[in-house]
Amino acid sequence: MTQLMKKKIFLFFLLLLFNAFCFAQKNHFAILRKQMVESQIKARGIKDIGILKVMQKVERHKFVPPPLEEYAYEDRPLPIGYGQTISQPYIVALMTQLLSPKPKDKVLEIGTGSGYQAAILAELVEKVYTIEIIPELAEVAKEKLKILGYENIFVKCGNGYLGWPEMAPFDGIIVTCSPKDVPQSLIEQLKEGGQIVIPVGKGLPQKLLVLYKKEGKIIKKYITDVLFVPMKH
């Protein structure tokens, strides 16, 4: 057997081992995702079948820094750099359910972060417009979502307080950072009959609210206390 043939055989077996490792890792994360949905989300009252399926489908470990992948399906937020976090899985599911997303909806997200919440929404609605104020995070999220094949997510680096007036009105608006008060611009960019899901408050904890727009008026509903990073502008 020639030296070249031995090298080819070695590389072939190396490739087999690598593929086996990738398959085992993918299966490992799939099991963790299923456990996450059952114990953290479904068990706490999230009943929307579509949301449960999407939470099990979207690979959260791809939205955290590589050293933290193993912790991606735990019941907690994780740091993603620049003082920002990826939200706890249950909170992502809860806020998504409160938004009542429909297949033809156009949704605005304030606070792209890692892009995970945008990916969840993109599986449920027609278009997602998401704004991130930190340029580095906006660029990373945009590239990541493109690689993952999300063609219905549009990322912009900008001030979330201003919303995205050129693309308004929106069927729903979700805010993943906490302003002191609800920005008036977001209320103005919300469609009649739509809702805004937003944590509000300067101190800790903040109040998670749903704002419904009915006949031009805003109806507020308190959901629970939450912890989010402050909204920058």
Question: How many structural domains comprise the chain?
Answer: 1
Q: Answer yes or no: is 87 within a domain.
A: yes
Q: Answer yes or no: is 6 within a domain.
A: no
Q: Answer yes or no: is 25 within a domain.
A: no
Tell me the Cα Rg of the chain. Answer: 20
Q: Answer yes or no: is 29 within a domain.
A: no
Contact of 112 with 137, CB cutoff 8 Å: yes
Neighbours of 222 (CB within 10 A): 10
Instruction: State pTM to two decimals.
Output: 0.87
Catalytic residues: 87
Residues 59-118 pLDDT 10s: 999 999 999 999 999 999 999 999 999 999 999 999 999 999 999 999 999 999 999 999
| pLDDT-based confidence at residue 20 (cuts at 50, 70, 90) | very low
Q: Answer yes or no: is 156 within a domain.
A: yes
Quick one: which of 206, 177, 169, 175 has its CA closest to 80? 177
CA distance 34 to 28: 10
Write out the H or E segment, with its range, that includes residue 219.
strand 217-226
Domain of 152 in residue numbering reads as: 38-226
Q: Answer yes or no: is 75 within a domain.
A: yes
* 178: CATH: 3.40.50.150
